[in-house]
Amino acid sequence: MSKVWRLALTAVSAALLSACGGDNFDDLDAFMAEKRARPGGIIAPIPTFPAYEAFSYSATALRSPFDRPVEVRDITQMQAISAIEPDENRAKEFLEQFTFDSLAMVGSLERGGTQWTLVRDPEGGVHRVRLGNFLGRNHGKVVEMTDTYVAVVEIVSDGSADGWVERPRTIELSGI
């Protein structure tokens, strides 16, 4: 009986496959001929765009709106200091290779009577800093530390050839 089933299955398969064959593509050829006979479409020209206008940011010396406000007496004291310029001969500290915004305060501790602040760099390393340490690319010096923020004064160019200004910045404790 299995021979009969095999023979029947082979016959049915051959009949089904023969229905798939054939060279009757007349309807497809007629459709393609109709599409080729139509006139071609018009391609729209490439649109012209206005020229790029560069934006000149002129508020670099101002306080960032996201930083803690600085008291007026601190600003006048900083402006009273003349001949501000960074010490280029000073050895750079490790955290000065990172941008200020990429650093994050993650905690503070006290050890041996010295207060330290823990700062995380963008590569995930955690470093101890204390008053007087430098961080950020703009000669930022740590001037105040609390349990919730670190105050830094950066020395940035005022846009003139040899002019420098001090800019206060803060790093607040992450997660609060």
- Can you say how many angstroms the Cα of residue 113 is from the centroid of all Cα atoms in its chain? 39
74-90 pLDDT, tens digit each: 555 555 555 688 888 99
With a pLDDT cut of 90, the percent of the chain lying above it is 38
For position 132, what pLDDT does the model report? Answer: 94
pTM of the model: 0.53
Q: Is the pLDDT of residue 13 over 60?
A: yes
Query: Once rounded to an integer, what is the mean pLDDT over residues 10-19?
Result: 75
Residue 94: band (very low, low, confident or very high) from pLDDT cuts 50, 70, 90 = very high
Burial class (CB in 10 A: 0-12, 13-18, 19+), 63: middle
**The domain defined by 72-172 carries CATH number 2.30.30.830:** yes
Residue 98: band (very low, low, confident or very high) from pLDDT cuts 50, 70, 90 = very high
136-175 pLDDT, tens digit each: 999 999 999 999 999 999 998 877 777 788 899 999 998 7
Q: How many CA atoms lie within 13 A of 124 on its CB side?
A: 0
111-122 pLDDT, tens digit each: 888 999 999 999
Angle at 133 between CA 72 and CA 156, to 5 degrees: 50
